[in-house]
Amino acid sequence: MSITLLCLVKGNTLVNAFPIDIDKDQLVGHLKKVIKAEKQNNFADIDADKLKLWKVPIFDDHDQLRNLSLEDSDELLAINDIGDYWPTSPPKKHIHVLVSSPESTAISDEREERLRENFSNHYCIVEFEVVVHPKRKANKWTTNIEKASLVGLKDYIHKMYQPPALENNGAELNLMNYGKKYFPYNDQDLREMLRIFVSKNNLKFTMFIETPSKAFSDWSFPKVCQLYGLGESDDPSLSVFPPFTCEYKDLEEDSSRAILNHLIAELEARLKSIPINGNEASKSQYVCSYLVSGVNLYEGKFELRPEKNITGPNGHGPVDFAIDLLQTMKTVDVTEVKDEDIFKGIAQNAVQLESTLSNRKCKASEMEEDSLFVGKTFGIITDTKEWYFMECSLDDQNKLAFRLSKSVTVVYDSKNMGENVERVLGHIAWLLEEVQKSDSDS
């Protein structure tokens, strides 16, 4: 019988966990071979039998991982069957196996001893010249190479540059020293690499921040608030977002009134055939009508892109609707449709907006500057009845800033339906005017 074990290399975070499918009748030694093949970059110079595997009960809790002690955990012995440790199916959403390598991993024991001898006549306090990719002004980083840590290096980079990528819980640091890349998976690896740099008298290196983004749909409201530093509560509310005043454009021109009347008639026709209380696919039919009308108010200037794929520092995947400004082909609005959990929709939309900004290319003269983000973008979150509008921009310290409006309600099949629909379309029209101003400013 085959089972799936969720594994994690010691020193990594939960976002780096990986699944292994294996038969319960196979030996732990077989599991080691499969893990080595799966993580060949991590264990390139280590034989499979040298790997150490531990049975651990870790679920979605970073504190458990930080405070983990292997003294109370079972080491998996190579001669035992997998089924000896998991006679039944292992629990879901848990880390089952922690993988650790021998003490000396990044370099051989002989190389380690030679490097340590070279250090016998040197101080451990060293000043490095650090450049963070993409090219930024180099800064000095002074550290004790025998006590240097990945957390300390991340804190230094965050203090000097505030790169949004470091807000990702799974952000990894890669180092390049004179054309060669190094991948420190833990503090010991980092210290060994720094010793190598000093032994070669190469004290300048470039940092690359790698962020394993996840699907937009995987983000929850509390996790997004934690990611962007919105409030400190474990159970945050919408009040963590600063208020956004989404203005309203009067639809007074004859052409605008014609588009509005057509929208109301189309919505009334949909109410007769598509359940407005249905699933997201049903609700998307209604939302699409609003967005098409908004785009038609500015004929020839925008394009509506359903299911557009967007990738950014912290998320990736198709968005329900994107509106692109044709003059620049920038995505200026992203709409998220939810059938019930509006909080989750707001969370997803925040990550989508960050991703949208991150994909905007700087002008050639700005390529050496600190930010890849330009201008601002807007989001719409709705279940067709409640409408929220979000603004995402950069503050004066080059950090992401989000603002969220109060909800606007549409009551369908009521005498006020026409006024409600006009209100929503007026807000959409104002947003599309704003993005044209924002684009010309940037």
DSSP secondary structure letters along 211-264 = ---EEGGG--HHHHHHHTT--S-SS--GGGSPB---------SHHHHHHHHHHH
DSSP track, 408-426: EE--TTSTTHHHHHHHHHH
Q: Is 245 exposed, middle or buried (0-12, 13-18, 19+ CB in 10 A)?
A: exposed
The position carrying tokens 């380690």 is 112
Q: How far is CA 41 from CA 37, 233, 337, in A?
A: 9, 38, 40
Between CA 83 and CA 81 the distance in angstroms is 5
Q: Which residues of the chain have pLDDT under 70?
A: 60-69, 71-72, 103-123, 134-136, 163-170, 211-212, 360-374, 397-398, 438-442
Between CA 30 and CA 81 the distance in angstroms is 9
- The secondary element (H helix, E strand) that includes residue 197 is helix 187-199
The position carrying tokens 């004179």 is 178
Contacts of 373 (CB under 8 A, 6+ apart): 164, 357, 358, 360, 394, 400
Q: In terms of DSSP bridges, do strands 408-409 and 386-394 run parallel, antiparallel, or are they unpaired?
A: antiparallel
Q: Which domains does the chain have, with CATH numbers?
A: 2-100 (3.10.20.90), 109-210 (3.10.20.90), 215-441 (no CATH)
Between CA 38 and CA 97 the distance in angstroms is 14
Structure tokens given for 96: 């089952």
> For the segment 80-105, what is each residue's pLDDT rounded down to a tens digit?
999 999 999 999 888 999 998 876 44
Between CA 373 and CA 359 the distance in angstroms is 8
User: Comparing C-alpha atoms, which of 54, 62, 37 is closest to residue 99?
Assistant: 54
The position carrying tokens 């925008």 is 302
Global pTM value: 0.56
Contact 289, 329 (CB under 8 A): no
The position carrying tokens 């390529």 is 367
Q: b vs e for 185-223, b when ≥16 Cβ sit within 10 Å of the residue's Cβ?
A: bbbbbbbbbbbbbbeeeebebbbebebebbebeebebbb
3-state secondary structure of 133: coil
3-state secondary structure of 326: coil
